[in-house]
Structure 1
């Protein structure tokens, strides 16, 4: 069974998604930046949980990396 992870952008800024998110095995229907107050669904591989890292590049914006992890 796949793991569903909903990310809510509670900032007032767009958040781009690091390409490594998809290389590491996450799936999202929409790979465009996440708009303020938008909820984005990510599907992770079976038996994993999301590890999330966000960077703030100032004027260049925010970026997140979601990586599936196991214990």
Structure 2
């Protein structure tokens, strides 16, 4: 599955390393700049679980994208 994230936060967002450990891939693992669009690819049959943390001005924003299966 292709998942597109658009950063409209006004801040740069780092990507949590677990996003890639959990099975996401992306052509670019660098932080996502303001007004930048980033494409993530998830394994077939999954959908994205998205969580974001705000660590304040010192560490900034961080996003986790984790592929999740619907086991119903």
TM-score w.r.t. length of structure 2: 0.94
Pairwise CA RMSD = 0.4
Deviation at 1:5, TM superposition (A): 0.1
> Could you tell me which of 38, 41, 49 is aligned with 2:39?
41
Partner-residue secondary structure (3-state), 1:22:
helix
- The unaligned stretches of length 5 or more in structure 2 are none
Moved runs in structure 1, 4+ residues, more than 2 A? none
> Secondary structure at 1:21's aligned position in 2?
helix
Q: Which runs of 5+ in 1 are unaligned?
A: none
Q: Aligned partners of 1:36 and 1:10: how far apart in 2?
A: 6
Counterpart for residue 50 of structure 2: 52
1:70: which partner in 2?
69
Q: Deviations 1:15-71 (Å, cap 9, x if unpaired)? A: 000000000000000000000010000000000000000000001100000000011
Size of the alignment, in residue pairs?
69
Instruction: State the TM-score, normalized to the length of structure 1.
Output: 0.96
Deviation at 1:10, TM superposition (A): 0.7
